[in-house]
Structure 1
């Protein structure tokens, strides 16, 4: 049996590399299925414990695959017929881990774990116990980052102490002496206060694109958290000066020393500022906290998002079409300015007080005119991701990437699930880059009109050239369905 007749799971490393060089989607799917879990385990095992909470192994592996696909296509790798592709991918993974480890360790301070209790500044402890709403945002991120790196014993002691248990009770619960508990609490207090001091004195990297007029953080009264993501948290707040409700998105405290994260956050603010459309959540400006982090102030939309809405109740196909058409209107405005959203999903579509859709979260948006687009990372939400976002072999990211996103949103509204599902992230990514088409929504919901199914399937075509050429064409195909009685 020749290599072309063998199933992908039996291909050799040489065959996989050659097919990846030619942009084969089956090879990309086989690579994800074969190596993703192993590389993730490798990344986890090689991460130093001091920074394990700051680096996501799956993000590292996604970056490895993206680099591999790009470099393989450019002919940078040579492998004999008996060569081992695992060694190559493992070497790329170790190289990326080494670079990230050096970056994260560059500004870390040493921590004296045996500092006596007498050295603790009690005034800072009072500030910890009675934070202002603005402090609470930074402290929440700081606590999450701090607790994720604790040893099992210290983590258990801290949890019991936060339940207001006394030292003798904690000692009995964890099975050690009271002296060991006191030493553990001493380490925890000293380490946390040292981390707090380090974070408060740290400065975000210099960014040339800072606006000249920054909003004053003291003008905003935080009320409650309404969203959370990898880059930051979103709060409903009251803007005192304007006497209005707003949504405030804070960059995570742990990311303010990452130049790439800061630039992306500021780029999102700049992107939204360029877009003025009634179907896009607008921005009121950018600000900076006393601790050196950044926050973005946006319009507050009182309703929920489409993801929550579909979980609570079924959506009629006509209503789904109306919402997608409204999303098209917002994207036409963005595309006319060279901006592609790149992360369309029900959770990023808000429902306003009139029942209409408002597009939000341009954190992964790309400017088509950007001479140096980001190409080394796989970015997006896997179950809704277009193939070209996971593998360059499918072509460049352009306006048709959002056409795919529209199809993914329509699919989810019609069926109650994303286009791609699986038991693990590698399984989902393998389906995204594989050659198998998305299942027809008509098979999941037989009552759907044929035209709605056809539009959805054309949007979700794997090859960009087989989709609609623009979101305007998608809207033109859907509008007659709304007008029909």
Structure 2
């Protein structure tokens, strides 16, 4: 609910706790406290961003310059690195939970399902959209690699304008499940452009294969 330039979201004790741990930070949506409204349940008061989420933005706007897409990837990694430094696993890392600011930067949002220092064999009860889902993480040891895998999917999509094993950025739910099952078989799509592959191919592969578990370094091509 948009209210006087802010976004009001029904409060959950877990998400309130996560925002108190993570904010303020330039790559995390601004949390302004709790609204106690007579006609509504208590709500989180969050900064409103009229450009919406990154997935919708990519689908409904002209293709941004490659440098802008790489900068978004850098900003996402900045946010992820900070989240993980606070012992938080986002666990719902995908384009719809990344918001585009008025000046076309990105901030991370929606931590309702996030965890603080999850137990070694924690079983997640929720999943992101299937195309972002790290099956190894959701059916095994809980750690930040579920976020790193999803970042690999996003980096691939920003660079190629399509999701792995898909033709575009708008695959149907059935197509997303097929991608998820392909990943279950440890089959990873590769970047076709040789220049981009040279810069980013190894990073994407390491994200997919869960080689990276604590932080991602994205280069900016000269």
Bin the TM-score by the shorter chain. Answer: 0.7 to 0.9
Decide which structure has the larger Cα Rg and report it: 1
Matched, 1:293 2:44: no
Match of 1:308 in 2: 56
Distance 1:456 1:280, change over 3 A: same
Q: What per-residue deviation string (whole Å, max 9, x for no partner) do you get for residues 146-182 of structure 1? A: xxxxxxxxxxxxxxxxxxxxxxxxxxxxxxxxxxxxx
Match of 1:468 in 2: 212
Greater relative contact order (Cα < 8 A, sep 6+): 2
CA contact (8 A) 2:113 2:126 kept: no
CA contact (8 A) 1:349 1:360 kept: yes
Deviation at 1:315, TM superposition (A): 4.0
CA contact (8 A) 1:324 1:410 kept: yes
Deviation at 1:449, TM superposition (A): 4.3
Matched, 1:435 2:197: no
Partners of 2:212 and 2:26 in 1: how far apart? 24
Match of 1:236 in 2: 2
Distance 1:388 1:372, change over 3 A: closer
Distance 1:293 1:372, change over 3 A: farther
Match of 1:363 in 2: 112
Instruction: Give the RMSD, CA atoms, in angstroms.
Output: 2.6
* Structure with the largest fraction of helix: 1
Match of 2:142 in 1: 397
Distance 1:315 1:441, change over 3 A: farther
5+ residue gaps in structure 2?
Answer: 167-172
Q: What per-residue deviation string (whole Å, max 9, x for no partner) do you get for residues 248-300 of structure 1? A: 1136xxxxxxxxxxxxx220111012112111002111234546733111122
Deviation at 1:360, TM superposition (A): 0.8
Partners of 1:419 and 1:366 in 2: how far apart? 27
Matched, 1:272 2:19: yes
CA contact (8 A) 1:385 1:405 kept: yes
Q: Normalising by the residue count of structure 1, what TM-score does the alignment of the two structures yield?
A: 0.40
Distance 1:468 1:374, change over 3 A: closer
Partners of 1:437 and 1:293 in 2: how far apart? 45
Distance 1:297 1:289, change over 3 A: same
Q: Normalising by the residue count of structure 2, what TM-score does the alignment of the two structures yield?
A: 0.82
